[in-house]
Amino acid sequence: MKSMVPVNTRIIDVFEETNDVKSFLLENNLDEDPLPGQFYEIYVRGAGEIPISIASWRDGLLFSVKRVGYVTERLHGMKKGDILGIRGPFGNGFPEHRRHTVLIAGGIGLPPARSYIEYWLSKGSRNMQLLYGARTPSDIVYRRILQEWSNYIDVHITVDKGDKEWKGNVGVVTTIFHRIKDRESDFIIIGPEIMMKFSVMELKKLGVSEDNIYLSMERKMKCGFGICGHCNIGRYYVCKDGPVFKYSLIKDIPEVFH
């Protein structure tokens, strides 16, 4: 299958977001444009392949990557003009924007949320709210873009631990759930599994329907086709059937939030 073979693509530019997160803008020389929430397999020659959700595709394919292991360490060492392998897009992506949407993002979960926000802003929709949590002020990604978004949608930011300069909310992302404007919204949650688990618990306490909650379950994905079985949860494969799942479909699967 053609999409099993990485296509060589050039790094157009590299942006340092935080001390352990970099954004890579790549040439888009693939045949298919992505949808918000889909992911690609990024191949670093001599190191391996990793699944990364798309952050933007306005000027090329943009991926924001946290340095967490060997492949990402090698990727962080690459520079403008270097060549990567890429294949995709894979997965189902986020639900279509049909009414008010609340995006709840934790840490490096903000880049996939960016794909959704940019896509629907480009179509004239501003009926969105973003609740974003980072560990510390220095871990906040897309600072300038967050400020820009606040001119169009309702943006709220919190950090687990503040510093002398931080004037905003301190606490995990659920501590700003009282700012949710519409409990009949679609809720899209992206971030660490522990954050998603407690976010779901708090939303249910607020009376949010399980059918209106969507989770981006980006875990252990490898092949992108549901062949290798690494990302299996119950009868689903995250790479093929997800990575975005309606919570009501997977809530009883033991592997969810293990």
- Kindly report the CATH number assigned to the domain that includes residue 158: 3.40.50.80
Q: What is the pLDDT at residue 227?
A: 76
Task: Report if residue 249 sits inside a domain.
Answer: no
pTM summary value: 0.94
Looking at the structure, do residues 210 and 112 belong to the same domain, yes or no?
yes
Mean pLDDT by 10 residues, the chain (258 residues): 82 97 95 93 94 94 96 97 95 92 96 97 95 97 96 97 95 97 96 94 97 88 73 84 93 79
* CATH code for the domain in which residue 58 is found: 2.40.30.10
The per-residue pLDDT for range 199-233, each reduced to its tens digit, is: 999 999 999 999 999 999 876 677 776 777 777 88
Which of 67, 90, 113 corresponds to the end of one domain?
90
The boundaries of the domain holding residue 119 are 101-216
**N-term to C-term CA, the chain:** 33
The per-residue pLDDT for range 143-159, each reduced to its tens digit, is: 999 999 999 999 999 99
Quote the CA–CA distance of 80 and 119 in Å, as a whole number: 26
Residues 6+ apart with CB under 8 A from 108: 21, 64, 66, 141, 191
Q: What is the pLDDT at residue 236?
A: 87
Q: What dihedral do alpha carbons 24, 25, 30, 33 form, nearest 10°? A: 100
Q: What is the pLDDT at residue 1?
A: 52
Quote the CA–CA distance of 23 and 101 in Å, as a whole number: 26
Looking at the structure, do residues 105 and 161 belong to the same domain, yes or no?
yes
Task: Report if residue 256 sits inside a domain.
Answer: no
Counting every residue written for the chain, the total comes to 258
Q: What is the pLDDT at residue 189?
A: 98
